[in-house]
A and B are shown apart, each in its own frame.
Chain A
């Protein structure tokens, strides 16, 4: 249980184009999902919190107009990188929050990540 998928796994695009990344919780519903970014040899950096049916909240320094997040259903959140540039090339990872039966508190389950390369 608690499987999260991402699509696509890899994307290469030209500078100036927009790219949409999907994050799905496959066997559970997630009111809250999170988006992270990871540059080579660095740790994950939280970008934003996505709540179903409401606007995402962004971490300080993350441009909300550049990274559009939509959480239209309890199983799907999307991240759109608008007008992508080479510096946006990174590994984008989503997570979905769920509570295990024995867990006592919510836990995040991560997707496999999306490698974005902007030429």
Chain B
């Protein structure tokens, strides 16, 4: 798997955009970037994934740099319920095993 690096924690004010970075400089051409989040004592929740183009869904936007070495997950209007650990995962092509790193603990504050 391509190694991913994320900041251990971030704070965000409620109602503001939360921008969570992920570095995956060893990613290869066919490997997707996945984002999940885990709210305390629950299973991880799928957020979004992408290959090259930026992606948007009802939960978030994913911005992938042109060289694909990093990406940013954007929660446009963070709420208190978005407080969670966010994981960026790049599984090896055609294997789809997920090896979770430490993730980023996002604290949304009122």
Contacts and interface: CB of A to CB of B under 8 A. Distances in A.
Interface residues of A, number: 27
B55 to A, nearest CB: 10
Contacts of A4: 43
Contacts, number: 55
Main secondary structure, interface of A, reads strand
Interface stretch (B9-17, B59-67, B96-104): B96-104
A98 to B, nearest CB: 10
Given A49-B97, A103-B49, A104-B51, A43 B103 contact: yes
A95 B46 CA distance: 11
B101 A108 contact: no
Interface of A: 2, 4, 6, 32, 34, 36, 43-46, 49, 91, 93, 95, 97, 103-113, 115
